[in-house]
Amino acid sequence: MKKFLNDPQDVVREALRGLALAHPRSLRVDLERRIVLRADAPAPGRVGVVSGGGAGHEPLHTGFVGVGMLTAACVGEVFTSPVPDQILGATTAVDGGAGVLHVVKNYTGDVLNFEMAAELAHESGVRVEQVLVADDVAVEDSTWTAGRRGVAATLLVEKIVGAAAEEGADLHRCAELGRRTAARAASMGIALSSCTVPAAGRPTINLGPQEIEVGVGIHGEPGRARVPMAPARELAALLVEPVLADLAPARGEPVLVLVNGFGGTPLLELHLVFAEVVPLVQAAGLVVARSLVGSYVTSLDMAGCSLTLLRLDDELVRCWDAPVDTPALRR
């Protein structure tokens, strides 16, 4: 393993130190509790939007703290959810009296820790609502599983509820909008290589030189199947088909297309994939109304990408287009 490290155990805190130094005017970073806050939080009467999760998915979530998006983010150990103390700390710090919305990816650890934090926040008089993001169609969604994983649609939910909160929407309204966004989005990912967790020091999954993992999650956890490497055109079809099959959009419907890199794939290749995805989406009768290409919800150094489609409506478009000023997303 060759990585820029001092002590593998201290990677999260040291990275947060860098984030704080890079954004001294717009962010406040609590290194002890690993909370990243908008410098101007809390805003009286404005809903706070808090998200968080394990480190290793940068820029999610810390890169999305700022005007028009998250009010605070809590960072866990690499690929490990933050703990209730942290989430509670962020929640109480951003509550301006209008309540706080938790955006949570559907992983058991994240769900349990946010749930405990919400219970504690209620006890201290802060109103909390939760939006659960569960967009990964690679895994079965049934009463017999923990449901689907929450992956790249998380960033879309954060952007859209962040815009609503910025406009002054109340907690109930922000939560409703977040749930609607989450319900209208679906994702699918492919890994070309494994990620390497710094503390572990070796690859999480063993992929052969000509093997890829279809349906991989953002922790390098295995997906649907392991298949031979193929040209980008064929890989794009492997991404588009299951997402369309799940979303079942109506013909003529406008969609947002997100091609998201996992950390080890250059923008050159992501744009190449996007060029393959667009005609497939159009062939299904959909209108590519908005798009985003880049590495936003990553898996450390994993090569690969995911495709997310979001079925848009007028309100979602308006919130997506609203101004945003964060370290990783700016408009």
Partner 1 sequence: MADLSAFQAWIAESARTLGEQATYLTDLDRAIGDGDHGSNMDRGFSACAELAEAEEFPSVDAYLKKVGMVLVSTVGGASGPLYGTFFLRLAGPLAAPGEIGARQMGQALRAGVDGIVARGKAERGDKTMYDAFAPALEAYEQAAAEGRGLSDCLTAAAGAAREGRDATEQMIARKGRASYLGERSAGHLDPGATSATLLLEAAAQALR
Q: Per the residue annotation, which of 23, 61, 102, 219 is the catalytic one?
A: 219
CB of 267 to partner 1, least distance (A): 27
Tokens (6 digits) for 228: 């031979």
Contacts with partner 1, residue ranges (CB under 8 A): 54, 76-85, 107-109, 112-113, 115-116, 138-140, 144-146, 149, 197, 199-200, 204, 217, 219-223
CB of 101 to partner 1, least distance (A): 21
Buried-state track 48-84, b at ≥16 Cβ within 10 A, e below 16 = bbbbbbbbbbbbbbbbbbbbbbbbbbbbbbbbbbbbb
Active site includes 122? no
CB of 113 to partner 1, least distance (A): 6
Residue closer to partner 1 (CB basis): 143 or 210 = 143
Per DSSP, the three-state class of 193 is: coil
Element containing residue 77 per DSSP (H, E)? strand 72-78
Q: What single DSSP character describes residue 263?
A: B
CB of 299 to partner 1, least distance (A): 10
Q: Cβ(100)–Cβ(130) under 8 Å?
A: no
Least Cα distance to 46 among 180, 175, 168 occurs for 168
Active site includes 219? yes
Residue for token pair 């706080």: 100
Residue closer to partner 1 (CB basis): 74 or 174 = 74
Per DSSP, the three-state class of 117 is: helix
Residue closer to partner 1 (CB basis): 12 or 174 = 12
Residue closer to partner 1 (CB basis): 82 or 178 = 82
Catalytic residues: 57, 219
